[in-house]
Structure 1
Amino acid sequence: MTYKTVLLVLDASQYEADLTAAADLCDAANAHLSVLLVKVAAPPRFGNYAGPSAAWLDIQAAEFEQLEKAVEAVRTTLKDVGLSFDVAGEYTEPARVDDLVGERARYADVALIGTSMDPSFRARAIEGALFYSARPVLLAPRRQSVTLLPKRVLLAWNSSLESTRAAREALDMMKNAEGVNVVLVDPVASRWNGHEPGADVAAYLARHGVKVTVDRLPSAGRPVDDVLNEHAIDTTADLIVIGAYGHTRLREMIFGGVTKAMIEAPIVPVLMVR
């Protein structure tokens, strides 16, 4: 997949660092930057007559003004940079964030979610893009640059539908990379994995010109995300490509999982595909 439009989702209250990083990413990849600034409404406060209180109405007016100023500031910044871009602002209830982001992400190739935002807002934005747009999500660690032109890629592989979609989505990236490590954690020979786990996907990627190495790693009782992150650092990977939510969201929320861990604390940039 060639990425020509990047949706950047930002908190209208704090966005400068994420905007700079996204502008650099789009400039390097010759991509259009579509910025969505979101202001999540404060909970309503009611007065003596069961209507909105005057204080809450003042808060709402101030939030609208903050959003409008942020939109204008981002437009000014991007004009000075010289990128192809568009900027929109949305004032919304917390429960609408996932729908809003999902709807916008349908018209982009990838959604880049800002790092400087409330964790619950960020989680809703990520899930909205993953579940309601059929588009991948790009996650950047704090204070670390992210790229659409990685030199080294780690592909997390477990023969699932999600990892299969992730491999196909990132195929162009991997073809242009200097090297790709396909990583399997605690693989077992099976109908799905074959007699030599990882060999089938490696052959598929190699036919597309990907310079691929298969790494079968033991977890030794550690969480899978720890194994993946450590290996990404050891192989100097610029990007981890991974399928998202191999289990249900409810199970991930209750018991934890690789997706949840990668969302909450990415160590290196992550391209997540559902």
Structure 2
Amino acid sequence: MIYATVMVSLALDQPNEARLQVAGELAERFEASIVGVAAAQFAPPLYFADRAEAQGLIDQEQASIRKRLADLEALRAATRARGGHAQWRSAMDFPTRFVLAQLRCADIVVSGEHSPAFSDAFSLASPKDLVMQAGRPLLIVPDGVHWLDLRSVLIAWKDTPEARRAVADALPMLKATDITIVEIPEHSDGGQAAMARVTDVAAWLRRHRRCDRALPGSRGERNSRAQLKKIADDVGAGLIVAGAYGHSRFRELIFGGVTQYLATQSARCVLLSR
């Protein structure tokens, strides 16, 4: 398996350099095509105006969006030298809806991280929304990342279809890589069973000629997110691979969760699949 087409989702009024750099690296590594996508929709104002004034405002804002989309295409042109064929797709549309509609042509989509301080459905395709509906692996690239560091990869294992899909989706990136597989037991007596599961995953990776080491994680006072962060720091992971698990919006706002953490942490790239 390889990535034959890499899609990169760009955002208006947000940093895009990191995700473009990583998308270009993937395209170069796999001799893949690149598809750049971006969309934005006019956000109606929260006040009323007479008909002529309102129409003038709409025309002005739509013209501004078109210009900013054109500016993104110029930025995307920097990736042309990194891979093979390059395409650009943009529209006046809700970003998440537009990106999801284009994903039929891609093997993987590269996105920026989710910013808790900025969430605008009119101008930004949220990685959390993308991964829940994409049917493709999502590679989240924090703004501070300058390259895709695959020297050490951490697989955050959970015995679910989402985790199995994520590891399979990540296989092209796992050649000649130091791989750590960890499962955080959900119960204090679950360490032995967790070790058996991650040992199975390690054996599967060895049959695919990937390097690995397996550990069950620990269960103590630290929560799963803190434990995962500590292990990633300890092994120097440049990439975390994990399944994406959705909860109700209310529960997510109150309790967060590992998927929420992975979509918002800013230290390393994350590959999520669902």
Instruction: Check whether TM > 0.5.
Output: yes
Deviation string for 1:220-254 (max 9, x for gaps)?
Answer: 32232222222122212221100001645553344
Change (3 A) 1:66 1:265: same
Quote the residue 1:6 is aligned against: 6
1-side partners of 2:40 and 2:247: how far apart? 31
Deviation string for 1:39-92 (max 9, x for gaps)?
Answer: 342324642359834234322222223323432x23653456675211122222
2-side partners of 1:208 and 1:76: how far apart? 36
Please, which moves more after superposition, 209-218 or 2-11?
209-218
Deviation string for 1:77-120 (max 9, x for gaps)?
Answer: 3456675211122222xxx3322221112211111113598434
Kindly provide the amino acid, as one letter, of the partner of residue 34 in structure 1.
V
Change (3 A) 1:69 1:198: closer
2-side partners of 1:168 and 1:70: how far apart? 32
2-side partners of 1:246 and 1:48: how far apart? 43
Conserved? CA contact 2:21–2:79, under 8 Å: no
Change (3 A) 1:108 1:255: same
CA RMSD of aligned residues (A): 3.1
Summarize the alignment of residues 49-60 of structure 1 with structure 2, pairs less than 5 Å apart: 49=51, 52-60=54-62
Summarize the alignment of residues 183-202 of structure 1 with structure 2, pairs less than 5 Å apart: 183-186=182-185, 193=193, 196-202=196-202
1-side partners of 2:124 and 2:200: how far apart? 34
1-side partners of 2:176 and 2:153: how far apart? 7
Please, which moves more after superposition, 113-122 or 53-62?
113-122
Quote the residue 2:181 is aligned against: 182
Summarize the alignment of residues 108-257 of structure 1 with structure 2, pairs less than 5 Å apart: 108-115=106-113, 118-121=118-121, 124-147=125-148, 150-174=150-174, 176-186=175-185, 193=193, 196-245=196-245, 247=247, 251-257=251-257
TM-score by structure 1 length? 0.82
Quote the residue 2:98 is aligned against: 100
TM-score by structure 2 length? 0.82
Change (3 A) 1:66 1:187: closer
Conserved? CA contact 1:232–1:268, under 8 Å: no
Deviation string for 1:14-61 (max 9, x for gaps)?
Answer: 455233443244224422111012234232464235983423432222
Instruction: Show structure 1 runs of 5+ residues with no match.
Output: none
- Fraction of identical pairs, as percent: 28
| 3-state secondary structure, aligned to 2:183 | strand
Conserved? CA contact 2:114–2:127, under 8 Å: no
| 3-state secondary structure, aligned to 1:170 | helix
Kindly provide the amino acid, as one letter, of the partner of residue 166 in structure 2.
A
2-side partners of 1:10 and 1:230: how far apart? 31
Quote the residue 1:30 is aligned against: 31
Q: 2:49 aligns with which of 47, 50, 58?
A: 47
Instruction: Show structure 2 runs of 5+ residues with no match.
Output: none
After superposing on structure 2, the runs of 4+ consecutive aligned residues of structure 1 that deviate more than 6 Å are none
| 3-state secondary structure, aligned to 2:127 | helix
